[in-house]
Amino acid sequence: MHIPDGFLDPKMSAGMMGAAAVALAYCAARVRQAVTAVMPAAAMAGVNKVLGGGKRVLTGFGEQQIYKMGMVAALVFAAQMFNFPIESGTSGHLIGGVLAAVIVGPFAGAVVISVVLAVQMLFFADGGALALGANIVNMAVIGSLGCYYIYYWLNKALPEWLSIAVAAWCSVFFASLMCSLQIGFSGTIELGAVSSAMLKVHALIGLAEAAITVAFVYLFRALTDGPKKEDIK
C-alpha cells in the first residue's frame, strides 16, 4: 500500500507531510520520555555547571527498549517483503502496524513503522518521497497508533489473539480507506471507484495481515522474555 509519487497532488502531499510530522513529533516525544530519565541530583553535581540542570539521559531500560524497537522494525521490514498471493494476479503484504504496536506500544510502534517506511523509500524506491507523509499517516499513524487502541479496548473483553487479529484487519482496512481518500481527493481518479476497489481487495489482504500479526506477536514473545509491564504505553 506504499503510495508512489504522482498519485497525490502537491497540496495533499504537503498536508499529509505536515500531519505526519506533527503526529510523529508527538510519538517521538512520548518515546523519548519513556526511555530517558532526569539525571539524579547527586550524579549531576559535577556536570550541572557544564550541561545545565534537568538534562534527560537514556536509562538502561530505555536502551533495551530502543534495541527492541529496532528488532521489531527489522522484523516488520523483513515480513513486508513477503508478498502473499491473493485473488487473481494480485498480492498483498504485511503492514505490521498492529504487530509493532502490540510489542513495543502505540507510540514506539508508530515510530518503528515510520522508520521502516523511510528506509523503504530511501533505499528501495518503495513509496514516493513526496508521498512519504501520506504513507506515514496511513500505515504508522492510523495502522499502528490508531489501531492499537482497537486492540487495547477489545482486549478487555476478548481473548488477546482475537483482539490482535481484529485490530490487524482494521489497520489494513482503515489504512486502505485513508489511502483511497487521499488519492480520490487528489483528483487522480474518481473517489467512489478507487475506494470500492481498494476496500474490496484490502478486506482480503486484512485477513492475511491478521493471521501473520497474531503468529509474529507470539513468535516474538516466545523468542524474547514475553511482554513487560513497563512497555511504552
Partner 1 sequence: MKKVFFAVLLVAVAASFFASSHPDGLEKVAENLGFIESAQERSAPLPDYSTPGVPEGGLSTATAGIAGVMITLAVFWLAVYIMKKGNNGMNKMSVFLVALIMLTSSAAFAARPLVTDDYGTLDPGAYEFEAGYNFISPKAGGGDSQGLVCQLKRGFFPGFDLGLELPYNTSAVSGLADAVLHAKLRIKDLSEEEGVSARLDVKLTNGDAATGLGSGFTDYALLLILSKDLAGIRSHFNAGYTVIGDAANSSHDDTFVYGAAFEKEICSGIETAIEYTGSCCLQRGLLNNVQVAGRWQATRSLRLDAGYSIAMSDVSSSIATAGLTLEF
Distances (CA, A) of 79 to 47, 69, 116, 142: 45, 15, 11, 19
Tell me if 33 contacts partner 1 by CB under 8 A.
no
Q: What is the spatial distance between Cα 1 and Cα 224, in angstroms, rounded to a whole number?
A: 30
Q: What is the spatial distance between Cα 27 and Cα 212, in angstroms, rounded to a whole number?
A: 25
Tell me if 125 contacts partner 1 by CB under 8 A.
yes
What 3-state DSSP class applies to 39? Answer: coil
Which residues are within 8 A (CB) of 223 and not within 5 positions of it... i.e. 6 or more apart?
none
Which residues within the stretch 146-165 sit at the binding site for partner 1 (CB under 8 A)? Answer: none
Tell me if 68 contacts partner 1 by CB under 8 A.
yes
The one among 61, 82, 149, 153 contacting partner 1 by CB under 8 A: 82
Strands 36-38, 56-58: parallel, antiparallel or unpaired by DSSP?
Answer: antiparallel
The one among 22, 25, 90, 230 contacting partner 1 by CB under 8 A: 90
Tell me if 92 contacts partner 1 by CB under 8 A.
yes
Determine the residue type at 200.
Answer: K
Tell me if 48 contacts partner 1 by CB under 8 A.
no
Determine the residue type at 10.
Answer: P
Contact indicator for 61, 37 with CB cutoff of 8 Å = no
Tell me if 194 contacts partner 1 by CB under 8 A.
yes
Q: Which C-beta is closer to partner 1: that of 35 or that of 110?
A: 35
Q: Which residues bind partner 1 (CB under 8 A)?
A: 1-7, 35-36, 51, 57-58, 62-63, 66-71, 73-75, 77-79, 81-86, 89-93, 115-116, 119-120, 122-126, 128-129, 176, 179, 183, 188-189, 193-194, 197-198, 201-202, 205, 219-220, 223-224
